[in-house]
Amino acid sequence: MTPSISKRFRTAAMAALAAIVVFPSPLLAKVFSPDSFTLDNGMQVVVVSNHRAPVVTHMVWYRSGAMDEKPGHTGAAHLLEHLMFKGTQAHPDGEFSQIVARNGGSENAFTSQDFTGYFQSVAADRLELMMELESDRMVNLMMSQEDIDTEREVVREERRSRIENEPRSRLNEQATAAFFVNHPYGNPVIGWDHEIQALTRDDMMDFYHTWYAPNNAILVVVGDVTVDKVRPLAEKYYGRIPARELPPRVEWREPPADVAQRITLSDPQVRQPSWSRRYHAPSYVYGATEHAYPLEVLADILGGGTTSRIYRSLVVEQKLAAGAGAWYNPTSRGPSSFGFYGAPLPGGDIGAIEAAIEVEVEKLLRDGVTEEEVQRAIARLQAEAVYARDSLRAPAQVLGGGMVIGMSVEEIEAWPERIGAVTAEAVNAAARAVLAGEASMTTLLLPETNTVKGDG
C-alpha cells in the first residue's frame, strides 16, 4: 500500500501508456489483443491471455481517487485503501492478506489522484478465490473506529517519513499546490495532515459507499486464462453486486496560466542541489488533446536518455550536470505537465543548469525538431517495451490505467499507430503550445548554506 501514486506506481503504470504500450511496428494497431465485455451491472472486464506460465494477475480499478474527495477531506481515498484490508464479516481482521499469502500469492494496492486499485498475483487455479475475496470487500467492508484510528496513524507516519522528512518531497508538494490553481490535483494524494486527523468514520463510509460500486470499476485479468474461463467467474462474483447511482463528476478546469512562479527550499539534509521547471500541458483526455502524442515524442527527443538533446548538451558536451532530462505523462483525467530537471556536478553552479536548459528550450522554439529526430524517438519509444506483452503486470497496468481515465480498449490498443503517425510539424506545434510564454513553475532544492542570485 502506498501513500501516493507519484513516486512508484505512476512511473511504473501510468507512464506505461507513454512507454510500454508499444509494439515493434508502428503500423500494427494491436498491442495486447485483449477480450473485453461489460457485466449487466456496468462493470467492465478485460482479459489478456498469456499462457507462458500458470499464473494470473487479478486487478480491480476504481474510477475514484484523491481528486474525488470532498473539500476539507483530503486523504480519504488513500486511508480507505488501507482500510480495505481490515476485512468483512466473511473475512475479518486482515484475513484477506493471510489467505492470499497461504495460497502462494502476492498483493498490493495503490491510490492516485485519478483512481484506486487492488491486485493479486496468484496461481491460475486460485483466480476464483481472488474474485470471491475482492468482490466481497467491494460491498461488505467493515471498519471500526479502532481500525480507522490505527490506520490513520499508519498514514500519518507515512506522510512524516516520505514527505515531511524528505526535502525533495516537501518541495514537490508545495510546488504542486501552487502549480494547480483550481484543480484538486494541487492537494497531495496522501492528504494534508490536519485533514487526515479530522477524517471520521462517517467520512470514510460515505466515500466507500459513494464510489466503490461495480459500475465504477474495471476488472483486468492477465495470464494463463481465457475469456471463456473469466466470464462465468466474473458474472458469479461481481455480476451479482447491484449497480449504484454515482454522483455527477465535477468538471474541474484550470484557469489560463500567465505568470512564472518560483519556489526554493534550502535544507541541511540536501547533499545534491537540483533544479526543475514544469509547464501546464494537456493529457490524453483533457485540454488540447491533439498535442498529447507529439508531446510524448518531444519528451523523448529532449530528455529520453543519454542521446537526448538535454543530456547530450548539459552532461556530455558542456559537463555542467550530473544528470538532466525532461518528462511528460499524458495519462490523467485532468491536466498534466511537461517538465525539465537538472542537477549540477559536485561544486557546480545550479544557475548554469537553468541557463543551459533555457537555451535548449529557446533553440527548440526557434528551430524546431527535425523529422529524423522524430522518427528516432518513435523507434526508441517502441523499442523500450518490445517485451511488454510477455509481462503479467504490464498489460493490467496499461489497460486499466487507460480505461480508468476514460479511454477505450480500442484507443489504448491503437497507441503504436497513433504515436507512429506523429510528425515533426505536430511536435513543433505542441512545443509552441506548451513551452512558449512565461507561465511555468520553477523549483530549486539547495543545501541550507546555498544561495542563488535572484532568489529571496
Q: Cell 559536485: give the residue.
A: 346
Q: Cell 504515436: give the residue.
A: 419
Is position 425 annotated as part of the catalytic site? no
Looking at 298-453, which runs of residues are DSSP E strands?
Answer: 321-328, 336-344, 440-447
Per-residue CA distances from 406 to 40, 198, 411 (Å): 19, 32, 10
Q: Residue 53: how many CB atoms within 10 A of its CB?
A: 12
Q: Bin 368: left if φ > 0, else alpha if -120 < ψ < 50, else beta.
A: left
Residues 377 and 383: their CA atoms lie apart, in Å, by 10
Residues 63 and 381: their CA atoms lie apart, in Å, by 28
Would you say 225 and 53 are in contact if contact means Cβ atoms under 8 Å apart? no
Residues 125 and 393: their CA atoms lie apart, in Å, by 18
Nearby residues of 136 by Cβ (< 8 Å), 6 or more positions away: 88, 90, 91
| Angle between helical axes of 227-237 and 127-139 (0-180°, round to 10) | 30
Nearby residues of 415 by Cβ (< 8 Å), 6 or more positions away: 17, 21, 22, 31
Q: Residue 451: how many CB atoms within 10 A of its CB?
A: 10
Burial 277-286 (b: 16+ CB within 10 A, else e): bbbbbbbbbb
Active-site entry in 81, 134, 354, 413: 81
Burial 165-203 (b: 16+ CB within 10 A, else e): ebbbbebbbebbeebbeebbbbbbbbbbbebbeebeeeb
Longest dimension (CA), the chain: 66
Q: Residue 356: how many CB atoms within 10 A of its CB?
A: 18
Nearby residues of 408 by Cβ (< 8 Å), 6 or more positions away: none
The C-alpha cell that represents 264 in the structure block = 526554493
Residues 335 and 315: their CA atoms lie apart, in Å, by 31
Would you say 225 and 127 are in contact if contact means Cβ atoms under 8 Å apart? yes
Catalytic annotation, residues: 81
